Structure 1
Amino acid sequence: MIAESVNPLAVTRDAWRDVGIAAGVPAVEVEVVCPDTAEHRRRITTRSSDIPGLPQPDWQQILDRDHQPWDREHVVVDTAGQEPQEPLASLVRRLHAYA
C-alpha cells in the first residue's frame, strides 16, 4: 500500500502511519524535499493538476504553511537538480531495505 499526500503536521503523519500499521503492512515514512528555493518555486508555479477544478496552493501559501519537524526515523529524498525518475529510482532502492 502506498499513500501519498502532503503531511506537514505530526498529527497527520501519525494518522497515515497508523493506517499502515492497522493494515498490517510495513509503514515507511518518506519526506520529499527540494532545498533549492528557486527550483522549488519554479515547480510550484508551473505545475498542473490532473484533477479538474482542484485548486493548487500558490508559492505564498506554501511558504505560510505550518511545517512541523519530524520527530522519528524517516527517509528523506532530496529532489533538487534531478529529473523525476532519478529520486524515484533512489527511493525504490532504499525502500528495499525495509521489505
Structure 2
Amino acid sequence: MAVIGGLPATGKSTVGRAVARRFGASHPGIDTIRQSLYAFAERGTDTDALCHAVSHGLGYGVAFALAEDPLRQGQCVFAECVNSRKATPDAWAAVARRTDAQFHEVELLCSDPTEHEHRATTRTIDIPGLPLPTWQDITQRAYAPWDRPHLTLDTAGKPPEHTITELTNTLGITP
C-alpha cells in the first residue's frame, strides 16, 4: 500500500491513477469519494449534516474502508489525498497494519512556486462538479509537516512519467 500526499496541484491524482493503472491496483481517490458524497447530500433533506460530515472526514473514512478489501485480498492500493493533518497518515498506517500490508508514504511537492501556481490555475478536473481550490486556497491551507520518514518527490520541471518512474523504482515496484 502506498499513500501519495501533498498539496493540491502537485500531481497526486495524475501519479496515483497512473501507477494504479500500470499495476492493476486499486485507487481510492478522496476527491472522487468526497464529490460523490456531496452530490448524494444534495438529494437529501439533511444536506447540511452530511456536507458537514464530508468536510470533517467522512470521505477519508470511506477511503480507508475501500482500501481494506483489496489489501485483505493481497492486492496493492495506491491512495492519494492531501494528508494535511497528522491523523490522516496515522489512519492510513492503521489500515496497513490491520491488513498486514506493506506501507509506503509518499509526499509530492512542486518546489517551483510559479509552476505550482500555473498548474493550480490551468488544470482541469475529470470529476463532475468538483470545485478546484484557488491558488490562494492552496497557499493559505494548513498543511502539517510529515513527522516520520517518508519518500519525498519533487514534481517541478518534470513530466508525470518521470515522477511515476522515480516512485516505482524507489519503492522497488515491478509489474
For normalisation by structure 1, the TM-score amounts to: 0.92
Q: Which residue of 1 aligns with 2:128?
A: 52
For the residues of structure 2 that align with 1:20 and 1:12, how far apart are their CA atoms? 13
The one of 121, 146, 153 equivalent to 1:77 is 153
Deviations 1:33-90 (A, max 9, x none): 0010000000111111111001111100011111111110100011111011001101
> Which blocks of at least 5 consecutive residues in structure 2 are unaligned?
1-76
For the residues of structure 2 that align with 1:44 and 1:24, how far apart are their CA atoms? 36
For the residues of structure 1 that align with 2:170 and 2:150, how far apart are their CA atoms? 11
Counterparts of 1:22-61 in structure 2, within 5 Å, are 22-61=98-137
For the residues of structure 1 that align with 2:169 and 2:137, how far apart are their CA atoms? 33
Q: C-alpha displacement at 1:8, in angstroms?
A: 1.2
Q: Which residue of 2 aligns with 1:17?
A: 93
Deviations 1:7-56 (A, max 9, x none): 11111111112112212211100000001000000011111111100111
Which residue identity is paired with 2:155? T
For the residues of structure 2 that align with 1:70 and 1:89, how far apart are their CA atoms? 23
Q: Which residue of 1 aligns with 2:45?
A: none
Structure showing the higher helix proportion among its residues: 2
Q: How many correspondences in the alignment? A: 97
- Percent identity of equivalent pairs: 44
**Which protein shows a greater Rg?**
2
Which residue identity is paired with 1:61? D
For the residues of structure 2 that align with 1:55 and 1:23, how far apart are their CA atoms? 33
